[in-house]
Structure 1
């Protein structure tokens, strides 16, 4: 419940203006509930209209993307870029290509990105973009032509000192390569305008692994500080089978856990012996197959239709790495009933408000996405630095910086939670720590 008058007033304004944008409203309300003690302690934020400006993007770009498929037919998709807040640096955030993409989804992602980027300690503002284009089942030629058409419009709105996009769902190395090539062709410049690039043309070692590895570094540090515990000997359930899930599985296994599941949009696989990651990598990274193939190749494993049912598998630790709102209240209660004590989020906003209430009621160790999955954008920021310096750091150098950033996020979140009267609350701490840095920058820079 919102109780602070200034917070209630601004949220009511968001509801009036954007009442049809359900994902965006969900993200704003979750953050606002945490920020009430922060706003009460900083009356200067109300005087300077910080919340009103914080929830209103600085710029929303929406455009048509017309491209030609392999049969010569013209296809039309919608493209988006939301440049949400640049108070602490150029806009930074991924591009998502998925049929569910709309303005509400991109705005919720961009809003979360403000806080996530702030938590990394790097000078990056918040933004997000994408399209309702679905690359699944499309040829490389079709994906290339779409990416070229998308970048032909997007290029006029971005730049290494203005807005630096990256990848997200369905935007990996292939798509980033095509996008970067088109930007370079049109602008006739070689700059760090995109992150997640190939190593041959300005990418960073450890970027592919960063979100999954960072999620585990965050979880391990939170377990150490709050529970005097670790991944060692724990059973872990992971959803998803993209980069985030794959490298979360890899790092959790290296830290001593047994990961027993992964999933895609059709269903999940359960392997009681522990997921064979080489098989998953071959299926998903090798030939873009479906996860049910795992059960056909690995004796003793099971495939189950229905990706949400992955949360019925008993575990100690749950790492949702698929998509938003994949864990609802019922799934959260099942997790708790089956012995889960830790939920840390690799996907963006994978838990509904009802699920979060269950975590908090059961006193789970809960690491919110904006903190737990900040590793990807952290290494994107490190890629930007390497591009500016015209040099490359080793994998171990980048990985060590990533680990330190994630441990610092845990420490800063816990410090903020203590300062605002909710000791040990990683969700409030992440929201407060990320917000205060941006809010103070907004106040210092005047009204715009």
Structure 2
């Protein structure tokens, strides 16, 4: 059994109840063969065994009182995965689906994603099975305060810096930071990112993941003598990433015709009116189906999976993991889609990803393509450290430069290690080499 397969078997034996984590490990490790062939010292120093084992896993109880005075209990998680190149950095996800395996897959992906940004941030992730949907403002505040009351002792701007993710936006970050500040009795602005602009947040942070996705895909298209101009685009999701990916794609001349939520999707052949989606999702916090009330010429389909049956040139999965299965991939290719840009974390199953690569589809992998969010979080940390606030234009320019550099690094790694045009392998190899070299330098820790 070769080294990579041996380590995959170790992961399967140790974490057989965590399918998402195993999926992430297999996807990454199988693409690293060219790098490991060139660097036998990584096997000698058990780099892969150390890479797949988190430095620390924290699981804790989160009790809180609902509006009826009833005690509710949720489970909280923080996986501090790898700090070889900097403090742990990664979001918090509040969603009923959250379990240790989900958090570990996200944290594992975060190691390489953060490495690709070129910034000094390690990989971590956290969250809870708490569902903010249907909860009052007071209930959300009470939960956040209880959550951070336990987690605060493991955080610090030079230790671990959480941010938002699914179910955790500016509102939740505000409640988390307020309680952290109260407990610590200090204004440690750099301990959480995604903060409000009035207390240390960064302009362009909200837009960063969606904009960054489009900047990366733009570079990938440019490298293949193409552009967004007059392309038909479909997007899964209607949260932060999807909204701002839609907005930026439209700026570049694309016609975005569909967006979705977990219940269904909207189809507007004349182009999605993104201001309407923002009103529904960000202000009213309602279902995407409300869109047709504003635009009766559009169509709502009560089946989110059918989104991938639509004809398009470019598909941007920006919802959640394993959004595109093999049958969806086959339908997309059959209908003429030639570009996939992963805005969510691991939105394609390994089978779907392999199929896209086999068919020479241009595939922008999440580790690289959605790194704009965490990159801008690191820029927020930099502003906090300097007690400065940069303009939207300054932050957006830095974000654009970071995404251009990520694409260059990914593309060059693919060329150097014999898989030209395979941006998935290029991203994994480029991110891994930097972390592996740092781990080697730090000794057996």
The TM-score normalised by the length of structure 1 is: 0.98
1:115 aligned onto 2:112:
yes
What's 2:250 paired with? 253
Deviations 1:27-69 (A, max 9, x none): 0000011101111110111111110100000000000000000
Give yes or no for the alignment of 1:93 onto 2:82: no
The aligned counterpart of 2:44 is 47
Ranges in structure 1 where 5+ consecutive residues have no aligned partner: none
Q: How does 1:180-329 map to 2 (within 5 A)?
A: 180-191=177-188, 192-225=190-223, 227-329=224-326
1:441 partner SS: helix
Q: Cα deviations across residues 356-396 of structure 1 (Å, max 9, x unaligned)?
A: 12201211000110100000000000000000001011100
Structure 2: distance between partners of 1:302 and 1:370: 33
Alignment partners' CA distance in 2, 1:194 and 1:15: 33
Alignment gaps of 5+ in structure 2: none
Aligned to 2:14: 17
**1:404 is the counterpart of 2:401:** yes
Match of 2:139 among 123, 137, 142: 142
The 1-side partners of 2:243 and 2:25 are apart by 30
Measured against aligned partners, the alpha-carbon deviations of 1:166-224 in whole angstroms (never above 9, x if no partner) come to 00001000000000000000011111100000000000000000000000000000100
TM-fit CA distance, 1:327: 0.4
Output the CA distance in 1 between the equivalents of 2:33 and 2:9: 15
Question: Counterpart in 2 of 1:126?
Answer: 123
Runs of 4+ in 1 over 6 A off after TM superposition: none
Residues 372-426 of structure 1: per-residue CA shift (max 9 Å, x gap): 0000000000000000001011100100010011111111011111111101110
Deviations along 1:273-299, one digit per CA (max 9) or x if unpaired, are 000011100000111011000012202
2:211 and 2:372 in contact (8 A); partners too = yes
> Deviation at 1:354?
1.3
- SS of the counterpart of 2:333? helix
SS at match of 2:301: strand
Please give the alpha-carbon distance, in whole angstroms, between the structure 2 residues aligned to 1:305 and 1:33.
37
Q: How does 1:157-196 map to 2 (within 5 A)?
A: 157-191=154-188, 192-196=190-194
- 2:319–2:347 contact (8 Å) kept in structure 1: yes
- 2:259 alignment partner, SS class: strand
Counterpart in the other structure of 2:329? 332
Q: Distance in 2 between matches of 1:19 and 1:420?
A: 31
Once residues 169 and 243 of structure 1 are traced to their aligned partners in structure 2, the CA distance between those partners, rounded to angstroms, is: 9
> Matched residues in 2 for 1:91 and 1:306: separation?
38
The answer to whether structure 1 residue 364 and structure 2 residue 399 are counterparts is no
- Structure 2 residue 417 is matched with structure 1 residue 416: no
| Corresponding position of 1:34 | 31
What is the TM-score when the length of structure 2 is the normalising length?
A: 0.99
- For this pair of structures, how many residues does the alignment match? 444
| Structural RMSD (CA) | 0.7
Distance 1:209 1:264 in 2: 19
Cα deviation, residue 124, structure 1:
0.2
Instruction: Out of 8-17 and 436-445, give the one that drifted further.
Output: 8-17
Partner of 1:209: helix, strand, or coil? helix
Cα distance between partner residues in 2 of 1:306 and 1:95? 28
Cα distance, 1:74 vs structure 2: 0.4
C-alpha distance in structure 2 between counterparts of 1:43 and 1:345, whole Å:
32
